[in-house]
Amino acid sequence: MENTLDARGLACPQPVILTKKALEELKEGSLVVVVDNDAARGNVCSLASSKSCGTEVEEKEGAYYITITRRENLCEIFSTEKATVIVFGSNVLGSNEELGKVLMKSYIYTLSEGEDLPRSMIFLNSGVILTTQGSEVLDELKGLESRGVEILSCGTCLEFFELKEKLAVGSISNMYTITEKMAEADKVFTLG
């Protein structure tokens, strides 16, 4: 059985909110979400992935058709697992920019070498600079991502700094997902 949610023309974060509600109500089968922009496509796919669901995307007639399916009944709509989330509100630590860049690089390097990893790292405001081309911490962030750490960058922030096309690690997110990740966490640390 296939259910369809038409989220074309809706502003962020409405496609994600509606998808989450539809997944909560989905008892069996798959859900097809139709969106009309790349940001919504990415955000819906990220939500599905965070719920351990598989996705297939088909582009036709100027829209994205995202089929969300359960992976062997492992699609967790309500996750009870909690962990640490780190929010990076700036690309520097502290008020001195020169020293702050050194401290941020050192912090992320030290984190990448450790065993106690956060579940998610969220980048907001100028923090998104750290996840884009030219960042001095890309290798460390890619290493963290390969070890299972979710890397999320605010889409509005990327657009503000005109860096959306330069994202080099992780995925583009939205304030709904960011708020949800922070609310679900045991601990939230804010830097910058």
In order of start, what are the domains of the chain with their CATH numbers? 2-70 (3.30.110.40), 84-191 (3.40.1260.10)
Query: Is the pLDDT at 79 greater than 70, yes or no?
Result: no
Structure token pair of residue 122: 């969220």
Q: Residue 80 has what pLDDT?
A: 42
Radius of gyration over alpha carbons of the chain, in Å? 17
Answer whether the bond into residue 13 is a cis peptide, omega within 30°: yes
CB 53 within 8 A of CB 34: no
- β-partners of residue 122 are 87, 152
Q: Residue 7 has what pLDDT?
A: 94
Return the H-helix or E-strand segment holding 55.
strand 53-60
Q: Residue 26 has what pLDDT?
A: 80
Q: Kindly state the average pLDDT of the residues 121-128.
A: 98
Mean pLDDT for all residues in the chain: 88
Query: Is the pLDDT at 78 greater than 80, yes or no?
Result: no
| pLDDT single digits (tens) 80-89 | 445 899 999 9
At residue 102 the predicted structure's pLDDT band, cuts being 50, 70 and 90, is very high
Query: Is the pLDDT at 71 greater than 80, yes or no?
Result: no
| pLDDT single digits (tens) 16-60 | 889 988 888 887 788 999 999 988 898 898 888 777 787 899 999
Cβ-based burial of 84 (10 A; exposed 0-12, middle 13-18, buried ≥19): middle
Query: Is the pLDDT at 12 greater than 90, yes or no?
Result: no
Task: Enumerate residues 6+ apart whose C-beta is below 8 A from 169.
Answer: 131, 138, 141, 142, 145, 151
pTM: 0.65
| pLDDT single digits (tens) 157-182 | 999 999 999 999 999 999 999 999 99
At residue 14 the predicted structure's pLDDT band, cuts being 50, 70 and 90, is confident
Q: Residue 46 has what pLDDT?
A: 82
